[in-house]
Amino acid sequence: MLDGFARNRALAWAGWSFALAMMFFLIAPSLIVIPMSFSSSEYLEFPPRDFSMRWYEGFFGSLAWLQAARASLIAAVSTAVLSVPVGTLAAYAARLLPLRMKIVVGAFLLMPAIVPSILVAIGYFFVLAQINLIGTMTGLVLGHTALAIPVVFVIMSAAFATFDANHERAAESFGAGRLTIWKDVIIPQIKAPLFASALLAFVTSLDEVVVAMFISSGSNATLPKVMFSALRDRIDPTVAAISTMLLLIAMVAVVSLLKSGSKRADG
């Protein structure tokens, strides 16, 4: 028995070691930009020889960077506001469909996430060009919303899989209207998944670059697009500072998701 326990313990240590090694392999490239963002050099270098806040000051003192950040935030918030209701209602309706129809609908809604981003961007470009929305915030939000809906649909489909429909039926039997049922019965049961889907839709838009390269321009150019242009024209260390701030936003999002998940489990 002791030999068997020792073997199991060694296997557990091996599993944890492999998981930690893979986590370090995935995270390390992103973490390298943090010390690079505090470098005083005119070029990206690692490790930095001297430390400075000049690139953060350059970001907050640049009208072009701040304008791009403003466009990205507006697009991300608008994308979350649009994609969460659409994805949630789609997941709610899909759970009532027959299995084959549910698969077809799910595949259709997940198409933007399955098709390569460059093909999606080209398709959006030609569609939005027909209605004169290229270079507009409306066109950008519509493109990002189409990309965020699959994320919301997957999360909310999982949420509705454990949804207790008896409460909904009980509310209907007492004569409650649909708006009342959604407000007092359905939404309270899916608050954590709604928060998670909104957060991931926000991050999806904030981080997206391929569609933005085709659709956004001028004052509506997003931060990732301007960053890409800065790296293409010259190596601007301001990009490292911006990447560090975006990494911080992603970390806050992950922590928030973990907290919401733990609250839902405790509830």
33 or 214, higher pLDDT:
214
Give 174-229 pLDDT, tens digit per residue: 676 677 777 777 778 788 888 888 888 888 888 888 888 888 877 788 888 887 77
> What are the DSSP calls for the chain, one per residue?
-HHHHHHHHHHHHHHHHHHHHHHHHHHHHHHTHHHHHTB-SSS--SS-SSB-SHHHHHHHT-HHHHHHHHHHHHHHHHHHHHHHHHHHHHHHHHTTS-HHHHHHHHHHHTHHHHS-HHHHHHHHHHHHHHTT-TTSHHHHHHHHHHHHHHHHHHHHHHHHHT--HHHHHHHHHTT--HHHHIIIIIHHHTHHHHHHHHHHHHHHHHH--HHHHHH--GGG--HHHHHHHHHHHS--THHHHHHHHHHHHHHHHHHHHHHHHHHHHH-
pLDDT digits (tens, 9 = 90+) for 62-113: 788 888 888 888 999 999 999 999 988 888 888 877 778 878 888 888 888 8
pLDDT for the residue numbered 261: 56
Q: For 240-266, write each residue's pLDDT tens digit.
A: 777 788 778 777 777 776 665 555 555
Average pLDDT value over all residues in the chain: 79
Q: What is the pLDDT of residue 8?
A: 67
Residue 1's pLDDT is what? 46
Q: Whole-model pTM above 0.85?
A: no
CATH code linked to domain 63-266 = 1.10.3720.10
